[in-house]
Amino acid sequence: MTATRPLPSPGLLVHEWIAPAGGSENVLEAMARAFPRADIRCLWNDAPARLADRRLRETWLAKTPVRRSKALAAAFCLPTWRLLPRDDYAWMLISSHLFAHHARIRSSAGDVPKYVYVHTPARYVWTPEYDPRGQGAAVRAVAPVFRAIDRHRAAEPVALAANSAFVRERIARAWGREAVVIPPPVDVRSIADATAWEGLLSDADRRTLDALPGIFLLGASRFASYKRLDLVIETAERLGVPAVIAGRGPDEAALRERATAARVPVTLVVSPSDSLLRGLYRAASVLVFPAIEDFGIIPVEAQVLGTPIVTGPIGGQLETYEAGVTGITADGLSPGDLAAATSRALSLPVFDGVEATARFSSEVFEQRIRGFVTG
C-alpha cells in the first residue's frame, strides 16, 4: 500500500442533497469514513439519521419548499453554491452529480481549493438522451445557458475524479478537462457475508425467497421508464423462463400491468430490504440490466454473490464485469439481442464473486479517494 501525506486540516465534504437511499449518498458516507475529521455541507438533508455523528450544515434552501422539487431547485443551486459563508477550510472534496462542483468558499487565504468526485455532469443538461428530465421544451430552452455556466465553473477544481471511464469521456466532452477514474464503493465484504444478512431476513422475506422458481431472470433498479425493466420481462418471455422485478418507483403500476400480461410468470418485489435484495441476487440465474448507467452498482452487488450479468453495449456498467467470465454484453437493447446474450450467460462457468469484485470494495475506494486529495 502506498503511503499518503497527512491530510491538511480542517477539510469539508460537499454533497448536493442527502436522500434516505442512493448511490451518491453511499459515496458520501465512504468519503466521511476516509476523512473522519471533515465537516459536511449539503443543500438539504432528508436523512438526518445518516452521518448523525458529523458536523453537517444545510443551505438556506433547506428551509424552503424548493427542497421538494429537485428540478425546480436546479436554478437556485447556482447562486447558492457561490454564496457559501466564509470559513478557513484547507480543502473541499465535492461529490457532484448536478452543480455541487460550483461550490465556492472564501478563506483568509483566498478561495478554498476543491477536489471534485464526479458522478456525472448534469445529465439533463449535457446528455438529455439518457435522462427524460432533460427532454422537455423548457429545459431544452435554458440548457445552453446552464452549459456555458457549468463549463466555466468546472475549470475551477484542482482535480477531477470520475466514477467510470464512461463518465470520464463525458467530462472531457462537456468540460474539456481530464479526470482520473475512481469507481464508487461497493460493500463487498458485507454482501459476501451471507450468514450476517440472512439473519436479518424477515418472515415475509423468507416466504418471498422460498417461493422463487429454480431458474429466473432478475431485473433490479428503480421503477422508472429509462431503466427499461420492461425489457427484462420481454427477454424472459423470449427464453420461456420466469422473471423477478425488484425495486420501487413511479412506474410500479405500469410494470405490474406488464407483468400480469406476460406470457411467463413475473413476480414484482416492491421495496425489498437490503437482505432480501441480496437473497434475490444469490438466487437469480442471471441479472439482466438494460439501463445505461454512469457506473452501475447493482451489477457489482449481484456478482459478489456469483450471479452473472447481461447488459447492453453502452454505459459505465460495462466496466463492472469481465465479459465472457462474469457477464455477457448484448449486441443491442432489443429483446432478441438481450435474449441471445442471456442464453449465453446461463451457460457461464461458476466464478468467485468476491475475487471478481474486490477492486470495487469500500476499502479500495477509501484508500484511493484519500490519495486523490492528498496527492
Instruction: Give me the half-sphere count of Cα atoms (radius 13 Å) on the Cβ side of residue 314.
Output: 8
Phi, psi of 3, deg, nearest 5: -70, 145
3-state secondary structure (DSSP) of residue 209: helix
Domains of the chain (ranges, CATH numbers)? 11-182 (3.40.50), 188-359 (3.40.50.2000)
pLDDT tens across the length of the chain (375 residues): 444 445 545 899 999 988 877 778 899 999 999 999 999 999 998 888 888 888 899 999 989 888 887 777 788 888 999 999 999 899 999 999 999 999 999 988 889 999 999 999 988 788 777 665 655 666 676 778 888 999 999 999 999 999 999 999 999 999 999 999 999 999 999 999 999 999 999 999 999 999 999 999 999 999 998 899 999 999 999 999 999 999 999 999 999 999 999 999 999 999 999 999 999 999 999 999 999 999 999 999 999 999 999 999 999 999 999 999 999 999 999 999 999 999 999 999 999 999 999 999 999 999 999 999 988
Contacts 24+ apart (CB under 8 A), 71-80: 71/133, 73/17, 73/43, 74/98, 74/99, 74/122, 74/146, 77/16, 77/43, 77/102, 78/102, 78/149, 80/43
Contact 285, 217 (CB under 8 A): yes
CA 274 → CA 216, 228, 271, 278, distances in Å? Answer: 20, 22, 9, 6
For helices 274-283 and 297-304, the axis angle rounded to 10 degrees is: 70
CA distance 39 to 10: 8
CB 161 within 8 A of CB 30: no
The residue among 101, 105, 110, 108 whose CA lies nearest residue 16 is 101
Local structure of 85: helix, strand or coil: coil
What are the DSSP calls for 154-186, one per residue? TTSSSEEEESSHHHHHHHHHHH----EE-PPPB
Q: What is the pTM of this model?
A: 0.89
- For position 340, what pLDDT does the model report? 98
Residue 39 is classified by DSSP as: E
- Residue 105 pLDDT: 95
For residue 133, give the nearest of 146, 149, 117, 116 by alpha carbon. 146
Contact 176, 169 (CB under 8 A): no
Position 3 scores a pLDDT of: 47
In whole angstroms, give the CA distance from residue 245 to residue 267.
6
Judge contact between 208 and 269, C-beta under 8 A: yes
Please check whether residue 101 is in contact with residue 154, taking contact to mean a CB–CB distance below 8 angstroms.
Answer: yes
pLDDT at 69: 78
Q: How far apart are CA 40 and CA 29, in angstroms?
A: 10
Q: What is the pLDDT of residues 65-99, one digit of tens each?
A: 888 877 777 888 889 999 999 998 999 999 999 99
CB atoms closer than 10 angstroms to residue 139: 17
pLDDT of residue 1: 43
**Chain position carrying cell 454533497:** 15
Q: Classify the C-alpha dihedral 4-317-44-20 as positive or negative.
A: negative
